[in-house]
Structure 1
Amino acid sequence: MTTTAPTIERRAFAEIRTAGRRLEGYAATFGSMANIGNYQERIAPGAFTKALAGDVLALLDHDPAKVLGRTRSGTLRLTEDSRGLAFALDIPDTSAGRDLLALAERGDLGGMSFGFVVPQGGEQWQGNTRTLRAVDLREISVVSAWPAYPDTEIALRSIMRGCEAQRRRRVLVMAEAATWA
């Protein structure tokens, strides 16, 4: 009997804040609907609970050559709350880390994404709508393109402190860009 390795799926979001050399935000939010090709998808609360016990990488643009942190070393911290999958990432002093901070300061980042495999029984279908109830989380990524899920934001905490209007404007621009993607 031949078994094939499961294909890693990726989904993107757009919430990032920086505080010094740390990025924080949400790699995924619960309940929001995303158009994924010919179907829609949403994430149910609790979908990441079991996955948080494993070693999860933080990457730049899903590139395994650009590791930014990982849960095993403590440089990436993941928690699941009522809103979604929250993260705190200590940015390394590497070329990828410095590039990431420069893009965040300029407001050029597209958002967050995550790579996952759906375990048996981890999804529920109703028509063309897929609900993810459990995922085997492999990685989260800071992405420079548009997010698949529109209900998150990017904000640069250390620079944008006190600039809530600019943050809201970026959220609206990214939400609009996601409808064009």
Structure 2
Amino acid sequence: MNEQERRFTRGLVEVRAAGDTRTIGGYAAKFNALSRNLGGFVERIDPGFFAKSEGDGWPRVMARYNHDNNMLLGTSRSGTLRLVTDGTGLDYSVDVPAARGDVYELVQRGDVAESSFAFRTLSDDWSMTEDGFPVRTLLSGQLVDVAPVNDPAYLDTSTGLRSLAERAGAELEEVRAAAEAGDLKQFVGAPAPTVIDLHTAGRKAPTTPAPDDGQGDTHPSLALRQRRAELYRRRTL
């Protein structure tokens, strides 16, 4: 489960005073804030998610405009990219090179106003919100890059769904189909829900799947066997 993923934060990227250096920065990620509906589940970042990368000195982390390999803005190795975690999340500052003055101007004018980060997940967990909606918690990972972005719509959730499939012992395509139907909770089977206020900071709660009617065990492996048995019964009728 070490495929690269990308997420964006609604925190603003801004111009930062740094003498004669053109510096921009902002929060690339925010802890414990529920994401929007990612397609059948929501996501949160644990405050310890970047601990390994930070402890290793942020090795080989880059800042790139729109995650573009040809639009390098700075690196942790050279010190032109500086990263720090606090109680809010992962904050970054990058000294923009003269050749990328257009990016600095776009941020200064407000045309580029959001940030994103790319990462590889080392460990995660799945549970349910108090309203019965699946939530993936990113526990530990490796930071790849941070990026000021003007198009934050890119969301790759395939790795998250693969993680859930492996946890539930189910086929990935079955989990994907359930995600499209808004019925991922059958694969989570968490004995104790994670209580998270979906309305924190004015965030609108994602559409919650219909509550379980209590007519059967929702443990993933049992539910999977029951569905397969039903499909087999229908084919033999």
Q: TM-score category by the smaller chain?
A: 0.7 to 0.9
Matched letter for residue 8 of structure 2? A
* Structure-1 residue corresponding to 2:42: 40
Measured in 2, the distance between the counterparts of 1:37 and 1:110 equals 24
Matches within 5 A, 1:5-44: 6-13=2-9, 14-20=11-17, 21-34=22-35, 35-44=37-46
Q: Kindly tell me the number of residue pairs found equivalent between the two proteins.
A: 144
SS of structure 2 residue aligned to 1:133: strand
Q: Which of these two proteins has the greater Rg computed from alpha carbons?
A: 2
Measured in 1, the distance between the counterparts of 2:107 and 2:6 equals 21
* Deviation for aligned residue 1:110: 3.7
Instruction: Identify, as 1 or 2, the structure richer in strand.
Output: 1
Superposed structure 1 runs of 4+ greater than 6 Å apart: none
TM-score (norm 2): 0.56
Asked whether the equivalents of residues 60 and 143 of structure 1 are also in contact (C-alpha less than 8 Å), the reply is yes
Deviations 1:76-119 (A, max 9, x none): 0101111100111111111xx21211211221114110001101
Measured in 1, the distance between the counterparts of 2:107 and 2:48 equals 29
Larger displacement relative to structure 2 (12-21 or 37-46): 12-21
Percent identical among aligned pairs is 35
Larger displacement relative to structure 2 (103-112 or 79-88): 103-112
Asked whether the equivalents of residues 113 and 149 of structure 2 are also in contact (C-alpha less than 8 Å), the reply is yes
Instruction: Identify, as 1 or 2, the structure richer in helix.
Output: 2
Matched letter for residue 51 of structure 1? S
The alpha-carbon distance between structure 1 residues 147 and 12, as it changes in their structure 2 partners (threshold 3 A), is farther
Deviations 1:133-181 (A, max 9, x none): 1111111111102478xxxxxxxxxxxxxxxxxxxxxxxxxx99xx9xx
SS of structure 2 residue aligned to 1:61: helix
Matched letter for residue 127 of structure 2? Q
Q: Does 1:70 align with 2:75?
A: yes
Measured in 1, the distance between the counterparts of 2:107 and 2:25 equals 12
The answer for unaligned runs of 5 or more in structure 2 is: 129-133, 155-201, 207-237
Larger displacement relative to structure 2 (42-51 or 11-20): 11-20
* Structure-2 residue corresponding to 1:86: 91
TM-score (norm 1): 0.72
Q: Which has the higher contact order (CA 8 A, sep 6+)?
A: 1
Measured in 2, the distance between the counterparts of 1:98 and 1:15 equals 19
From 135, 142, 166, the counterpart of 2:141: 135
* Deviation for aligned residue 1:37: 2.4
**Over the residues paired in the alignment, what is the CA RMSD in angstroms?**
2.4
